[in-house]
Structures are given as structure tokens and as C-alpha cells.
Chain A
């Protein structure tokens, strides 16, 4: 890689103080540090440092999302061809899904990164890596036929209002990907909900099999259906829900793909197993409570089935675990996760306006996470004070 290093060394002075392009030094530094870990050495404190840094943290999360992304690409094609009654080959299915999803990803990254680069430059800081993850999360929580222009607006909103005004990566209160989705949900509801958005092409109505409904399982559950059927009348089994061959947001359907990602996140220590476990625990608990006190069909939905439907698993593994917006103390993480799972199922089942409660539960708990931590820290403070009293 010598030629690359030499090239960068040659153009670098132009981007440093006094150079022609020094106002773009953040941008230059962002690309340079992407290619090469910088040659900076320690100047204060510990002389040696762990090899782990922010870039590696982010790449771990991106890798953990790849299984969900790949499955989502295939599933998009599969659901589409099902709806028009065509039996497509594997590669035709994947290609269809890729053509639909790739623009979403590009738009998300370009919008978000441009804004991040801009803010970093005017502040004179290094560009932060946070959006490398958010940029992939946003498309994965959207329905496949969402219009690209709405993605641009909601991503811009999420990055500017959800993150940059607070100070950038590490300073935000709410999960930026969910802020983007929430913005879309409330600002452009018809593009985000209903029965037609989850399967590609349903909105256009071309060639759709007669009477095909693209409703998600949760959409049907909200109508108190006893059974969940797919567009051509076949009942969904538990295996469909786990495997993911159901309609939904691009990345949320396959519990297996999410599970692979979860194992990877927990093994590397980047994703908190405490949060993931407690989200499921809270959800199961609420589901159980609803089963016990059930007065309608939705409440009777088996408590464990909630875990494999909708965005619950995806939210538990990839959204609730965002370390910046989650609770930061160990004990706080348990409480935070449990309340997310608990509220998500509560909102799903008991609130007629929202078929999915995960996004709102996480955003709400993002706001309350500092309060949870406050009380955990308070107990530490009280312990310290009690020690003085005991000794005196």
C-alpha cells in the first residue's frame, strides 16, 4: 500500500493549516483515517493503548447487520414475486430485492454522511464514525416501497435534530435511526403504514394476484384475527415467523438472521447482553400478563410469539443496545431493557393507533435512561455517605 500512502503524504500538506484546501481538512482526515489508522502516538497518560477504537466498534455492528440485510434483500424479492403469482429463481429474487434496497442504502448514507462531514468541518473536528451504523440501520427499519425523497428528509432530520444539535456522536439522547423512522411515521403516515407498503409493487397494483393483501402479521393481529394468513391465503406458521418469510420492514423479519447478529455483538462485547436479555424478559413478562388477563384475541396471542413478530427482535438487538442512548450503568441496563420490552408489547396490544410499539418504547426509554442511571448512581452515593456515618 506504499503508493497509496505516498499519494496521501503528497497531497496532505494542501489540507493542513495554510494549505489551499485547509477548510476541508476534516474531510481529508476522514478518508485518510478510513484507509490508514493514524500515526499519532500517545502524548499523555498511558503510553500504550488497546487496539480497539471507534472505527472497529462500528464495523463490528455493520458486520452484525449483514445477515439481516442479506435476508431482507432476498425476502423483498420473495414477497414481491409471491404477490404477483410468479415463481422466480433464487438469483432473480435476490436481484429484485437488491435493486429495491440498494438505492435506499445509498440515499441514507449519502444524506447522512454529507451532513456529518459538513458539521465536522465547520467545528474543526474529526468526522465521527457513528453514521456508519445509523446509515445502514435506517433502511433496515423501513418498508421497502418508502419513497426515496422521504428517506432523504427523515435522515437529514435525524442527523441534524437527532444528533448534531446535541453535539454529534456520543452526545445524542435518542437513537438516530429511530428518530428517522419516527419522523417518517408521523410526517408521512400513508407511506409508512397500511397494508400496501410492506411488499414491493403493491402500491402500483401491477399484476397483483386477485385479492392479495400485503398486511403484516401484526397488522392482522391488530384486527383481532385468530389466524395469520399470507397474501394467497396460506396460514403463517411459527417457522415462517422465525425464518422471516413474512412481510415487514426490510431487516426485521428474520429472527435467525438477527440472532446471528446478536451472537456476534455479544461475543465481541460491543452489544450489551444485559440489554438484549432484559428486553426479551420484559416483553415476555408483558405478553404473559396480557395472556392471563386477555379479553380479546390480540391479548391472547401467545406471549412468546410476540418475540418473533414485528420489529421486536431487531429493536432488542440493534436499537436498544445503542450504548450512547441506552442506560450506562450496569444495573440501569437491566431496568432500561426490561421496560423497553414491557412497554413495546403494551403499546402493540393495547393501543389501537400503533400496530408496532418497539420504536416508541425505545425512544421513550432513551429519554428516561438518564433518570434510571441517576437513581443507580444515587444509591452508590448513599452507600458512600452511609460509610461516613458508620465510622463517625
Chain B
């Protein structure tokens, strides 16, 4: 069933970058190394239960969350544990596995979700290590299986710069998607909201699914952010918990119940101005990105981002795609001095502001680099953030409440409704170069701690 009205998002910004992935699947050789990175999981205190040399299969638990021991995090490939990479203060950065090329998988329950109880579905997903794909708002941490969420949200599209086009990726998986929805149906007494892009409506996988309420969104980024969609469909109030899942993970859940096995294959959109052949590369969850970059990289110092340029994380040239990401963006580093850059007309520069000229050519694609483009200052200009945040929230006041660590004010101003990714555009356009996303994350962590 669908609500036929189209929700039009007016505030936001589509940043057009060079190097959009061509709608082709590209096969590359599988890498030797794979990793599961505990820092990918917000708020998780990992307790590692393997050591270098252990043999694992897909689905073998590697670590669990000290605060929620029932949540397992399992191996993405079969093989041998190569190393446990640690960083400052012995924080575990990655568990690296050498693949044996066989992709042996542990067996889990194969059954029709409609025939199973809520506990059985929960248990199957948790045992397989797939539970982390289900996250919650507020705080964007992994969902607590003991909660009964108000509803479950799925964003069927991604409007971030150079993001993968999901309509293209889910096309052939209608059955699996439906089974995934059937499983999720049992986990909540509320609705499953599926948000789709008005522009790419005719995706049968999405449209023919039963058990969801479909909403159409139209507008610039961040229309594809689940937080924005939640805000427009059924805003979060104090005390509410909603869950959200990505569409490819819904398909994986479906495959789990259909086959009893985990399918960790992953299509990674490799994109960005520094990629020679941008496209959709057939890869694997946790895979090293080296095969994706072979003969594919332009000269120069580059930044490798797991995810998109606004919210993704910096990885090394031989790093690993994050658990929740299926995009690799490569852009040039911007370690250069720009003579009188702030005073020049800057005809080639990209800015939302009309003090530059990029607004005259809205279709042009840019090769943007990582230069900060100015120094960090205190807040001066006002009214900027509101232009790219389509929520009924006063962004500057929320940020100030977080900086002042005023818990009550944060709650009153809507901290439960937001996530860093919703503020990524605010950070992008900020003329004072404020670390908005870091501040929002700090606020969410503070709030979570307070509420425990």
C-alpha cells in the first residue's frame, strides 16, 4: 500500500562531482585480505574472541559487544585470522582475515519468516551476525533486540554525492527483498515505512512489495537520508525508538531465510574524480580495496573514502570498506596554498554562496579536493544551516546546546531526531569551518549516556 502524496523536500543541496559510477557491473579479482572493523559500530565496546591463527568460516563470531553480549559480530569470509590491528590505547581497529578462497559458511535457519515466531526470527538474525544491520534512532546505534520499535524505516535511495543508485542494485532481487520485509514485519507491531525516490519510481522490487507503507520523496540531498524521511513521515518524540535498515541488507536478510546462508557479496560503487573507470564493482563485505584500485587510479596524493564525501571515513589505499558502506569515493587531497584565493573571483570554485559563480552553472560537475578552504572560526553568519536542513529544528541552537552540554535544552531542541549525516551539508557549507558532525555525535553520545 502507498500513501500517494509526494513529500517535497525544498531545503538541501545536490553536490555534483566528477566520476559518477557508470551503470555497469565490473568484475575484479577477489582480494586476499578482508577486515571487520569494530569502530564501524557506534557505541560498541568490542570483546574479541578470536586470535591470530584461528580458522573461521562465514558466520563464525569474531567479537561481541560488552554492553550487549548477545549481539554477535561474525566473520565476513572463511579463512584464517591474520592480525588484530590495534590503535591508541589498545583500541581494536580491525580484525583482518586471510581468505582461503572457499567462502565456507555456517548454516543457519532456512525457513519462511511468516511461519516463524518473533523470537525465532530474532535468533536467526542474531546468530548469523546480521543483527548489526538493524540500527535504531535515536543515536544510530545497533538496535536492541529486546525493544519493540514504534516502526521500521527503509530508505530505498541515497542522494549523497556519487551515491550508488539503489534502483539499479535491487532490480533482480524482488523475492529476497520481500522475504526480508516478511522477516522484519514480525519484529515490530508498527509499520514498515519504505521511502522511494519520486524520480525513479518504477522499480518493481520496491513497488510490488507487500507489508510496507510506501512514501515518495522528491528533492535534493538529504532527501535520501532516513532521518529526514522519519522527520516527515512520523517524527521521533522523546521515548520513541524506531529501527532502520538499508535496502541491500533487507535483501541479505531475505537470502538468509531463503537459503540458510549468509550472502556477503557486495556491490561497491567506485566513484570520484580520481578513478579511471567509475562503476559498480562486484566485491565482498569487508574486502580490501586494492583490487578495486588496480590500474584505476590517477596520479597524485589522493584521499580514499569508505562511503560518500560528506559522511564517509578516511581509509588507506589498502584499507577496507566499512561494514555499512557500499561506496568507495576517491578524490584528490588538497594540500596546496591558494594565493589570495579568498579575494579572487574564483570562477572555477564550487560554493553555495553567490559570492562565487558556481551557482550560474548548476549542471557542472566538479573535481573537489579535501582542502579546508579557510580557517576555523567561531559562528558568524546565520541562516546558512537552515538552507540545507529540511527539518523543523533550529540547527544553530541545537549545536550551541550541545556545546554547552545542556541536556535539557538538547532534548527540547530535538536531539533525538537527528544524526550526524543529516547535518553533513551544514558542515559542508559552513563558512566558519565548524566541525558540525563531530558536535552532533558528541551530543548524541552525551544524551545516550545520560539516559542510561
Contact = CB atoms under 8 A, between A and B. Distances in A.
A275 B378 CA distance: 22
Interface stretch (A149-157, A166-174, A214-222, A346-354): A166-174
Nearest to B428: A46
Given A267-B354, A330-B386, A49 B375 contact: no
Interface stretch (A36-44, A301-309, A312-320): A36-44
A53 interface: yes
Interface string B349-360: 111111110000
B19 to A, nearest CB: 13
Contacts of B355: 52, 56-57, 60, 268-270
Contact of A45 (B369, B374, B427): B427
Interface in B302-359: 303, 305, 309-312, 314, 329, 331, 333-343, 346, 349-356
A47 interface: yes
Interface residues of A, number: 60
Interface stretch (A79-87, A233-241, A382-390): A382-390
Contacts of A383: 392
B350 A51 contact: yes
A48 B273 CA distance: 13
A129 B376 CA distance: 11
B339 A41 contact: no
A53 B381 CA distance: 10
B378 to A, nearest CB: 3
Contacts of A269: 353-355
A201 interface: no
B337 A51 contact: no
B337 A44 contact: no
Contacts of B379: 170, 324
B396 A54 contact: no
A53 B384 CA distance: 12
Given A49-B371, A57-B431, A391-B237, A39 B340 contact: no
Interface string A169-183: 111000000000000
Given A36-B341, A48-B309, A54 B237 contact: no
B348 to A, nearest CB: 10
Contacts of B338: 36-37
B337 A59 contact: no
A50 B352 contact: yes
Given A41-B334, A59-B342, A329-B394, A49 B378 contact: no
Nearest to B416: A384
Interface string A27-38: 000000101111
A58 B217 CA distance: 38
B235 A387 contact: yes
B380 A170 contact: yes
A49 B331 contact: no
B84 to A, nearest CB: 25
Contacts of B336: 39
B429 A50 contact: yes
Interface in A203-238: none
A5 interface: yes
Given A39-B335, A53-B433, A387-B235, A48 B374 contact: no
Nearest to A268: B355
B436 A47 contact: no
Contacts of B352: 50, 52
Interface residues of B, number: 72
Contacts of B431: 50, 52-54, 56-57
B381 A42 contact: no
Contact of B396 (A37, A56, A328): A328
A323 interface: yes
Contact of A384 (B371, B412, B432): B412
B437 interface: yes
Contacts of A38: 337, 372, 374-375
Nearest to A374: B397
Contacts of A385: 412
A126 B375 contact: yes
B56 interface: no
Given A54-B377, A170-B379, A41 B432 contact: no
A388 B237 contact: yes
Contacts of A57: 355, 380-381, 431
B356 A52 contact: yes
B368 interface: yes
Nearest 5 CB-CB pairings of A with B: A53-B374, A170-B378, A37-B341, A55-B342, A37-B338
Interface of A: 1, 4-5, 33, 35-42, 44-57, 59-60, 126, 128-130, 167-171, 267-270, 272, 323-324, 326, 328-330, 333, 373, 376-377, 380-381, 383-385, 387-388, 391
Given A53-B375, A377-B397, A380-B393, 14 more contacts: A33-B375, A45-B427, A46-B427, A50-B429, A54-B377, A54-B432, A170-B378, A170-B432, A270-B355, A323-B380, A326-B382, A329-B397, A377-B394, A381-B413
